[in-house]
Amino acid sequence: MLPGSSWDANSYRERGHDVAVRPRGPELPDFLVRFQPDLMAAEPLPLAELQGLAQDGDRLLREGERKAAFLLLWSALEGSLRLLGRRAQLPLENLPSSALIRELYSAGEISRDQFETLMRLLPVRNHLAHGPHRRPDEITVEPLQGLVRALLEEARSAQPDSTLRKEL
């Protein structure tokens, strides 16, 4: 139990949170890298919210908003990947996207084709999220869209009431 708190890691886990005890290095989000927290807990995100992100991404793509569509679809994708990791009981709580993808592939949770597609799309995601920005016609959204649909369908059929952490 943390000093001055009635909550411990198990209390958070019992309430459906993802918990990292004494997280270090790649487990930490950027804003915490200079700190050494004893405990980090994240609220769950329902599968329905991931599906909503994907639908919003689909709508933006139809409207010609390729950059926004890509980022929303990536958010749904990463949430789906974290859901796969959680289902497989893998310790992936705070890994960055690239490490998350590699770990899921190594554990057999995503196929080689999915892995290769994700690794081709990751630099696009990084450019859109961090700059420099690409022209809309340079952004390939459709492979991401198909992958998001497949992973969400897998998550829906495997665990209809699944939740995952919200961190993108």
Q: Does domain 46-165 have CATH number 3.40.80.10?
A: no
Provide the β-strand partners of residue 39: 21
| Predicted local confidence at residue 158, as pLDDT | 64
| Predicted local confidence at residue 162, as pLDDT | 39
Residue pLDDT, tens place only, 39-82: 888 766 678 889 999 999 999 999 999 999 999 999 999 999 98
Using DSSP, state whether 164 is helix, strand or coil.
Answer: strand
- Alpha-carbon distance of 7 to 18, in angstroms, equals 14
- Alpha-carbon distance of 115 to 151, in angstroms, equals 12
pLDDT above 90: percentage of residues in the chain: 42
CB 78 within 8 A of CB 100: yes
Question: Domain residue spans in the chain?
Answer: 1-42, 46-165
Average pLDDT of the chain to the nearest whole number = 82
- Alpha-carbon distance of 133 to 147, in angstroms, equals 23
The enclosing H or E element of 20 equals: strand 18-21
List all residues 6 or more positions away from 159 whose beta carbon is below 8 Å from its beta carbon.
47, 83, 87
| Predicted local confidence at residue 131, as pLDDT | 79
Residues 123-138 have a mean pLDDT of: 80
Dihedral sign from CA coordinates of 151, 146, 127, 122: positive
Using DSSP, state whether 18 is helix, strand or coil.
Answer: strand
Q: How far apart are the first and last CA of the chain?
A: 28
Reported as a pLDDT band with limits 50, 70 and 90, residue 166 is very low
| Predicted local confidence at residue 15, as pLDDT | 67
Taking CA atoms, 31 is separated from 7, 25, 27, 28, in Å, by: 23, 12, 12, 8
- Alpha-carbon distance of 33 to 104, in angstroms, equals 24
Q: Taking the model in full, what pTM does it have? A: 0.69
| Predicted local confidence at residue 103, as pLDDT | 94
Tokens of 3: 């000093």
Residue pLDDT, tens place only, 85-119: 888 888 887 788 999 999 999 999 999 999 999 99
Position 133 pLDDT exceeds 80? no
Reported as a pLDDT band with limits 50, 70 and 90, residue 7 is low
| Predicted local confidence at residue 89, as pLDDT | 84
Tokens of 89: 């009981």
Reported as a pLDDT band with limits 50, 70 and 90, residue 27 is confident
